[in-house]
């Protein structure tokens, strides 16, 4: 299979009607914080046990087409001795890998950050492929302030995303392109729209320069929402209208799927906002889907509490959120389903 055929096969498996992506690629500090919230120590064994439990959820493949993994997860095994990427692959779920190496301040652009990890990326991807990964994910972060993101921040972060995507496609990996505009702050929904439009314009200009095949990427952006300290909350319909308006301006129709990140929203908010987009904009040129981490896993973590005897309840909690987001993919979710779906 040549590289283009490999990319097309992977994107076909990742972008499926009614399904989305589970982000289980939390870095060591991030998963430690989430475990601490339920008073569980973040040991390698606890991480292996928890993630293996999630991936073994019966019926997960009904609503999840792909899972983003952290590097250590590629080499871990289930309780039955099967490699965790293989657990997913046998369900028809595509395993992928987070490949960026974290943020650092961007020089001469106060308040902006840039992600590291391009050095040696091609060689790492070759190893990850032998371990079962078929796609990759890279995240750049954009804070919103009166001065951020700066023009330099927009340019540099877009360049990093494009260089990463080009390397991925050269190695036969579908790149998830994640420009996350942070929800932190008291900015309005109008300011969020302004920044997200500028970010995406810069990102697609850079992808074009680097000759990235847009038909073989997944975009993982933020929704257009007010900052979480803003005094006025936006309704799902307002979020949907503002988001799709911006994306129609700057995201080419060649992109097969937009899998939104939850970015600090509650599980219920993330589901309701996605549902409103699919309910109101059935003619959108892309799939409008999800790639949630905490918004899928939060109920599962609360059910687990680090106890093996809670495995069934943990899996049921994950399955329920996946089911609800699957309904949101078609605009068929309703808040009443939160309490009625799995009584």
Euclidean distance between CA atoms 150 and 152, whole angstroms: 5
d(CA 219, CA 291): 10
174 contacts 168 by C-beta, under 8 angstroms: yes
- b vs e for 306-334, b when ≥16 Cβ sit within 10 Å of the residue's Cβ? eeeebbebbbbbbbbbbbbbbbbbebebe
SS3 assignment, position 35: helix
Q: Confirm whether 220 is a catalytic residue.
A: yes
Whole-number Å distance between alpha carbons of 282 and 332: 12
CA separation for the pair 4, 26 (Å, rounded): 30
Domains of the chain: which residue ranges?
A: 3-340
Q: How far is CA 229 from CA 193, 226, 329, in A?
A: 16, 8, 28
Query: What distance in Å separates the CA atoms of residue 135 and residue 218, rounded to the nearest whole number?
Result: 10
Active site residue 19: no
| Burial class of 54 by CB neighbour count within 10 A (0 to 12, 13 to 18, 19+) | buried
CB atoms within 10 A of CB 203: 26
Cα separation values, 303 from 32, 169, 316, 327, Å: 17, 39, 9, 22
Active-site pick, 91, 113, 137, 220 = 220
Instruction: Say whether pTM exceeds 0.95.
Output: yes
Residue position matching structure tokens 């091609």 = 122
CA distances (Å), origin 172, targets 133, 237, 289, 326: 10, 38, 23, 28
The catalytic position among 178, 241, 269, 298 is 178
Residue linked to tokens 């906002």: 273
| Torsional class of 17: left (φ above 0), alpha (ψ -120 to 50), beta (otherwise) | beta
pLDDT at 342: 56
First and final CA of the chain: distance in angstroms? 47
The answer to whether the beta carbons of residues 144 and 192 sit under 8 Å apart is yes
The pLDDT tens digits along the chain (343 residues) read 799 999 999 999 999 999 999 999 999 999 999 999 999 999 999 999 999 999 999 999 999 999 999 999 999 999 999 999 999 999 999 999 999 999 999 999 999 999 999 999 999 999 999 999 999 999 999 999 999 999 999 999 999 999 999 999 999 999 999 999 999 999 999 999 999 999 999 999 999 999 999 999 999 999 999 999 999 999 999 999 999 999 999 999 999 999 999 999 999 999 999 999 999 999 999 999 999 999 999 999 999 999 999 999 999 999 999 999 999 999 999 999 998 755 4
pLDDT at 340: 73
CATH 3.20.20.70 for the 3-340 domain, yes or no: yes
Give me 170's structure tokens.
């050269």
What the block records as the tokens of 237 is 């319909």
Backbone angles phi, psi at 321, to 5 degrees: -70, -35
Distance CA 181, CA 224 (A): 9
């Amino acid at each position: 299979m040549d590289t283009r055929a490999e990319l097309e096969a992977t994107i076909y498996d990742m972008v499926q009607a009614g399904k989305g992506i589970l982000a289980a690629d939390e870095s060591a500090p991030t998963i430690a914080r989430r475990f601490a919230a339920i008073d569980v120590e973040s040991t390698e064994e606890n991480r292996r046990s928890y993630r293996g439990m999630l991936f073994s959820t019966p019926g997960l493949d009904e609503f999840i087409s792909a899972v983003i993994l952290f590097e250590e997860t590629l080499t871990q095994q289930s309780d039955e001795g099967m490699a965790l990427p293989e657990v997913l692959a046998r369900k028809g779920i595509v395993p992928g890998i987070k490949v960026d190496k974290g943020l650092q301040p961007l020089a001469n652009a106060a308040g902006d950050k840039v992600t590291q990890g391009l050095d040696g990326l091609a060689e790492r991807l070759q190893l990850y492929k032998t371990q079962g990964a078929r796609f990759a994910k890279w995240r750049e972060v954009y804070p919103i302030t009166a001065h951020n993101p700066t023009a330099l921040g927009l340019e540099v972060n877009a360049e990093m995303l494009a260089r990463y995507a080009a390397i991925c496609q050269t190695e036969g990996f579908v790149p998830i392109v994640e420009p996350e505009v942070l929800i932190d702050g008291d900015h309005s929904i109008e300011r969020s729209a302004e920044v997200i439009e500028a970010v995406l314009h810069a990102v697609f200009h850079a992808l074009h320069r680097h000759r990235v095949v847009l038909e073989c990427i997944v975009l993982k952006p933020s929704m257009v929402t007010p900052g979480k300290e803003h005094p006025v909350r936006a309704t799902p319909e307002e979020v949907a209208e503002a988001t799709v308006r911006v994306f129609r301006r700057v995201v080419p129709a060649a992109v097969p799927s937009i899998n939104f990140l939850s970015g600090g929203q509650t599980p219920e908010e993330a589901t309701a906002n996605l549902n409103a987009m699919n309910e109101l904009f059935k003619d959108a040129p892309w799939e409008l889907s999800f790639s949630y981490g905490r918004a899928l896993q939060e109920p599962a973590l609360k059910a687990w509490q680090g106890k093996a005897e809670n495995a069934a309840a943990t899996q049921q909690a994950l399955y329920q959120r996946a089911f609800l987001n699957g309904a949101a993919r078609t605009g068929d979710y309703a808040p009443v389903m939160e309490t009625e779906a799995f009584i």
